[in-house]
Amino acid sequence: MAFVLDHLVHLSILVMLALSLNLINGFAGMFSLGHHGFFAVGAYAAAVVVFYGAQGSVPAGEAAVVAGSASSILWFVASLVVGIVAAGIFGFIVGVPCLRLRGDYLAIATLGFGEIVRILAQNTEAVGGARGMEVSYLLLERDVDTQNEYALLYAILVVALTAVTFVFIRNLIRSRHGRSLVSIREDEVAAELVGINLARAKLMAFVVGAAFAGLAGALYANYMTQIEPKEFNLIKGIYILLFVVLGGMGSLTGTIIAGFVLYVLDKIVLNLMPQEIQSLREVLFALILIILMISRPQGLLGHKELADTRFWQRLFRRQRGLKESS
Amino acid sequence: MEYLLDQLLNGLSLGCIYAFIALGYTMVYGIIKLINFAHGEFFMVGAFAGYFVLSAAGIEAIGLPEPLPMILAFGIAMLAAALSSGVLAVIVERLAYRPLMGSSRIAALLTALGVSLFLQNVGIQVFSAEQRGYPEARRYIDLDDAADYVGQTFPGLAYATFTVTSPTGKDSEVREILAGPDKALTADAVAELKYKKDADGEPVGGFYVSSPFSHTAKTLIVIVSLALSFGLLWLLVHRTQFGRAMRAVSYNPEAAKLMGIQSTRVISMTFFVGAFLAGIGGIIWGMRYGKIEPFMGFMPGLKAFIAAVIGGIGSIPGAVFGGILLGVLEVLIPAYLPSEYSGYKDAVAFIALIAILLYRPQGLFGRFEGEKV
B230 pLDDT tier (thresholds 50, 70, 90): very high
CB B37 within 8 A of CB B112: yes
Answer yes or no: is B32 within a domain.
yes
B371 pLDDT tier (thresholds 50, 70, 90): very low
User: What average pLDDT does range A277-283 have in this prediction?
Assistant: 74
Residue of A279, A289, A297 with shortest CB distance to B125: A279
Highest mean pLDDT among A32-41, A298-307, B334-343: A32-41
Work out the minimum CA distance from A176 to partner chain B, whole angstroms.
25
Residue of A100, A104, A120 with shortest CB distance to B109: A104
Interface contact flag, B357 A109, Cβ < 8 Å:
yes
Nearest to B147 by CA among B182, B193, B183: B193
Binding-site residues on chain A for chain B (CB distance < 8 A): 31, 97, 100-101, 103-105, 107-109, 111-113, 115-116, 119-120, 122-123, 189, 235, 238, 241, 245, 249, 279-280, 282-283, 285-287, 289-290, 293-294, 297
Distances (CA, A) of B88 to B75, B92, B109: 20, 6, 19
**What is the pLDDT, as a whole number, of residue A60?**
59
Does position A111 have pLDDT exceeding 60, yes or no?
A: yes
Does position B205 have pLDDT exceeding 80, yes or no?
A: no
Rg of chain B over all Cα atoms, to the nearest angstrom: 23
Answer yes or no: is B362 within a domain.
no
Answer yes or no: is B365 within a domain.
no
| Residue of A290, A296, A303 to mutate when probing chain B, most B C-beta within 10 A | A290
Name the residue ranges covered by the structural domains of chain A: 2-233
Q: Domain end: B175, B210, B245, which one?
A: B210
User: What average pLDDT does range A255-280 have in this prediction?
Assistant: 83
Q: Is A102 helix (H, G, I), strand (E, B) or coil?
A: coil
Answer yes or no: is B199 within a domain.
yes
Interface contact flag, A31 B354, Cβ < 8 Å:
no
B197 pLDDT tier (thresholds 50, 70, 90): confident
Cβ contacts (< 8 Å) between B111 and chain A: which residues?
289-290, 293-294
Answer yes or no: is B323 within a domain.
yes
Nearest to B19 by CA among B298, B239, B304, B257: B304
**CB of B99 within 8 Å of any CB in chain A?**
yes
Q: B335 with B350, same domain?
A: yes
Q: B224 with B246, same domain?
A: yes
Interface contact flag, B107 A286, Cβ < 8 Å:
no
A85 pLDDT tier (thresholds 50, 70, 90): very high
Interface contact flag, B109 A107, Cβ < 8 Å:
yes
In chain A, the N- to C-terminal Cα span, in Å, equals: 43
**What is the pLDDT, as a whole number, of residue B203?**
73
User: What average pLDDT does range A304-312 have in this prediction?
Assistant: 80
A173 pLDDT tier (thresholds 50, 70, 90): very high
Residue of A112, A238, A297 with shortest CB distance to B113: A238
Does position A157 have pLDDT exceeding 60, yes or no?
A: yes
| Residue of A32, A104, A241 to mutate when probing chain B, most B C-beta within 10 A | A104
Q: Kindly give the pairing relationship between strand B291-292 and strand B206-210.
A: unpaired
Q: B271 with B169, same domain?
A: no
Interface contact flag, B122 A115, Cβ < 8 Å:
no
**What is the pLDDT, as a whole number, of residue B175?**
73
**What is the pLDDT, as a whole number, of residue B137?**
66
Residues near A12 by Cβ (< 8 Å), separated by ≥ 6? A155, A158, A159, A161, A162
B70-88 confidence digits (pLDDT tens): 677 778 889 999 999 999 9
Q: Whole-angstrom Cα distance, residue A307 to residue A313? A: 7
Cβ contacts (< 8 Å) between B309 and chain A: which residues?
105, 108
Q: B177 with B115, same domain?
A: no
Q: B153 with B225, same domain?
A: no
Contacts 24+ apart (CB under 8 A), A74-77: A75/A49, A75/A50, A75/A138, A76/A50, A76/A138, A76/A139, A76/A222
Does position B139 have pLDDT exceeding 80, yes or no?
A: no
User: What average pLDDT does range B12-18 have in this prediction?
Assistant: 93
**CB of B227 within 8 Å of any CB in chain A?**
no
**CB of B37 within 8 Å of any CB in chain A?**
no
Does position B60 have pLDDT exceeding 60, yes or no?
A: no
Work out the minimum CA distance from B117 to partner chain A, whole angstroms.
6
Residue of B35, B121, B346 with shortest CB distance to A286: B121
Q: B56 with B158, same domain?
A: no
User: What average pLDDT does range A236-265 have in this prediction?
Assistant: 91
Rg of chain A over all Cα atoms, to the nearest angstrom: 21
Across A102-106, B14-18, B227-231, least confident range: A102-106
Cβ contacts (< 8 Å) between B118 and chain A: which residues?
283, 286-287, 290
Q: B284 with B302, same domain?
A: yes
**What is the pLDDT, as a whole number, of residue B370?**
47
Cβ contacts (< 8 Å) between B303 and chain A: which residues?
none
Does position A230 have pLDDT exceeding 80, yes or no?
A: yes
Q: B168 with B249, same domain?
A: no
Work out the minimum CA distance from A113 to partner chain B, whole angstroms.
7
Cβ contacts (< 8 Å) between B307 and chain A: which residues?
none
Answer yes or no: is B373 within a domain.
no
Answer yes or no: is B286 within a domain.
yes
The parent domain of residue B144 ranges over: 138-210
User: What average pLDDT does range B242-246 have in this prediction?
Assistant: 92
Q: B81 with B112, same domain?
A: yes
User: What average pLDDT does range B164-187 have in this prediction?
Assistant: 73
**What is the pLDDT, as a whole number, of residue A142?**
66
**What is the pLDDT, as a whole number, of residue B373?**
44
Q: What is the CATH number of the domain that holds B225?
A: 1.10.3470
B359 pLDDT tier (thresholds 50, 70, 90): confident
* Average pLDDT in chain B: 83
CB B314 within 8 A of CB B30: yes
Q: B144 with B119, same domain?
A: no
**What is the pLDDT, as a whole number, of residue A326?**
43
Across A118-127, A143-152, A205-214, A263-272, least confident range: A143-152
Q: Whole-angstrom Cα distance, residue A166 to residue B85? A: 45
Count how many domains chain B has.
Answer: 2
Residue of B118, B306, B343 with shortest CB distance to A283: B118
| pTM (predicted TM-score) | 0.84
Determine whether B340 is exposed, middle or buried from the number of CB atoms within 10 Å of its CB (0-12, 13-18, 19+): exposed
B29-58 confidence digits (pLDDT tens): 988 888 899 999 999 999 999 999 888 766
Highest mean pLDDT among A204-218, A258-272, B282-296, B338-352: A204-218
Residue of B103, B124, B354 with shortest CB distance to A109: B354
Does position B148 have pLDDT exceeding 80, yes or no?
A: no
Does position B369 have pLDDT exceeding 60, yes or no?
A: no
Answer yes or no: is B370 within a domain.
no
User: What average pLDDT does range B316-336 have in this prediction?
Assistant: 91
Q: B66 with B185, same domain?
A: no
Cβ contacts (< 8 Å) between A119 and chain B: which residues?
343-344, 346-347, 350
Does position B141 have pLDDT exceeding 80, yes or no?
A: no
A190-200 confidence digits (pLDDT tens): 999 999 999 99
User: What average pLDDT does range B216-231 have in this prediction?
Assistant: 87
Which residues 60-79 on chain B approach chain A with CB closer than 8 angstroms? none
Cβ contacts (< 8 Å) between B361 and chain A: which residues?
100-101, 105
Does position A257 have pLDDT exceeding 50, yes or no?
A: yes
Q: Which residue would you say has higher pLDDT here, A225 or B307? A: B307
**What is the pLDDT, as a whole number, of residue A183?**
93
User: What average pLDDT does range B93-104 have in this prediction?
Assistant: 88
Strand locations in A45-175 (E): 133-134
Across A116-130, B286-300, B332-346, least confident range: B332-346
